[in-house]
Amino acid sequence: MIRFLTAGESHGKGLTVIAEGFPSNLKIEESYINSHLARRQMGYGRGGRMKIETDTAEILSGIRFQKTLGSPISLFIKNSDWENWTDEMASGKPKGKHKKITVPRPGHADLVGVSKYDLNDIRNSIERSSARETAARVAVGSIARRFLEEFGIHVGSYVESIGGIYSTEQFSEKLFNNSLSKNFDAWSLAQEADASAVRVLDKLQEEKIIRKIKKVKKIGDTLGGTFITVATGLPVGLGSFIQYDTKLSADIAHVMMSINAVKGVEIGTGFKAADAYGSASHDEIVMKNGELTRKTNRAGGIEGGMTTGLPVIVRTAMKPIATLMSPIEAVDLSTMKKVISRRERSDFVAVPACAVIGESMLSWVLAKAFLQKFGGDSMRETKDNYKNYTTKLQKRLSSNFRK
Ligand code: EPS
């Protein structure tokens, strides 16, 4: 069983993450983790903070000579911006007078945060609710990703839309139609997306989106969007139908919804399937080259809460960033009078980054389900268990049902 915990404030010294439960002897390098942290920082439409930070993870424990020890892995990501906040974010006595934030931003955790935690400065709520925390999730997700790679499982994503601008090409339809070659791997999809400034797969769409972001920047507004996360190379049967909390689909929805600003998740054709006939919604079972497979993958690789062996496909919706430069109504808590909401440095669009965070969270739940099924204290043991199950699967199935 793997688990992780993150700690850290947006403008504190940095972010810490502790992960536990990975088998020993998994090869991993700091540079690998950092390459994914850099991907999270990309994307046209980010704010000033990304110019200050070059996120890198320092390994504090759990890894020796580029291999996991089986002990808790702890990572530290320094906040370069901390230097500008040493007085404002001091853990000791405040130095002199400091200005409290009294106007909550609609759409952010500000108002509910100060109400719930009995705080007298909105800064105390902003710091932990900030999406800065997702850097720690990408760092820890990259360990899960490295683990999955050892089994030929790859995770990738692309941005489907920003501000309602979609491609005329239906890339997701291609995924659902299972028209991809067996060698298709989700990482190549991610690399294709990484080559775009907004992580889309269509040049014309990219141009339109950049034009819209430029416009939005000018008027001080923000945009949201949708992205598709894909995992390939999965074995049949991760997750289970036994209990509500063992279904992999539920775990996927949980981790995706846990990402800041995410408001919707679909697996496979999702909400569209609700409008279609059953005969046009399910994936017919066929024999192909002596193997059981499906004609389509509308289920998005999950049936009964378990992996079918086809790519897992998840669509996620991110709402527009809640910090606006343009006016939006709020109440100043120091006077309880109407005001126009406060300005604060932020991103204009963070959908490309959100997609990378989505990859990290999907990697995490898949690695968790994988280790729940195959276990193992060392990579050798996990690999033996995996091989034993996967090589005998088809044979076992046909001998069980032979007349
Ligand atoms: C972010 C760091 C934050 C924001 C952004 C994402 O840094 P700062 O507040 O210093 O500008 O840029 O956070 C949000 C959009 C948010 O709503 O909290 C990061 O590291 O990704």
Cα separation, 296 vs 288, whole angstroms: 13
Tell me the pLDDT tens digit for each residue of 8-36: 999 999 999 999 999 999 999 999 999 99
Domain range 3-388, CATH class: alpha beta
Q: What is the mean pLDDT of residues 174-182?
A: 81
Take residue 38 and report the two structure tokens written for it: 């850099």
The closest residue, in CA terms, to atom 2 on ligand 1 is 132
DSSP-assigned states of every residue in 226-282: EEEEEEESPPTT-S-SSSTTT-HHHHHHHHHHTSTTEEEEEETTHHHHTTS-GGGTS
Cα separation, 176 vs 313, whole angstroms: 8
The closest residue, in CA terms, to atom 1 on ligand 1 is 132
DSSP summary character for residue 196: S
Tell me the pLDDT tens digit for each residue of 246-298: 999 999 999 999 999 999 999 999 999 999 999 999 999 999 888 889 999 99
* Count of residues making up the chain: 403
Cα distances (Å, whole numbers) of residue 64 to 68, 142, 256, 377, 393: 6, 17, 32, 16, 36
The closest residue, in CA terms, to atom 20 on ligand 1 is 132
DSSP-assigned states of every residue in 261-272: TEEEEEETTHHH
Residue spans per domain, the chain: 3-388
Take residue 351 and report the two structure tokens written for it: 């959908």
Cα separation, 186 vs 311, whole angstroms: 8
Mean pLDDT, the chain, whole residue set: 95
Ligand 1 pocket, Cβ-based, cut-off 6 angstroms: 10, 47, 49, 81, 130-132, 134-135, 321-323, 345-347, 350
Ligand 1 pocket: which of 36, 50, 343, 347 to mutate (most atoms <8 Å of CB)?
A: 347
Cα separation, 13 vs 15, whole angstroms: 7
Q: Which contiguous run of DSSP H or E holds residue 388? A: helix 379-401
Cα separation, 110 vs 124, whole angstroms: 9
Cα separation, 323 vs 222, whole angstroms: 8
Q: How confident is the model at residue 329 (pLDDT cuts 50, 70, 90)?
A: very high
Tell me the pLDDT tens digit for each residue of 83-136: 999 999 999 998 888 889 999 999 999 999 999 999 999 999 999 999 999 999
The answer to whether the pTM exceeds 0.85 is yes
DSSP lists the bridge partners of residue 157 as 229
DSSP lists the bridge partners of residue 288 as 291
Residue 72's identity, in one-letter code, is P
Cβ pair 24, 382 in contact under 8 A: no
| 3-class SS of residue 142 | helix
Ligand 1, closest atom to CA 55? 20
CA–centroid distance, residue 47 to ligand 1 (Å): 8
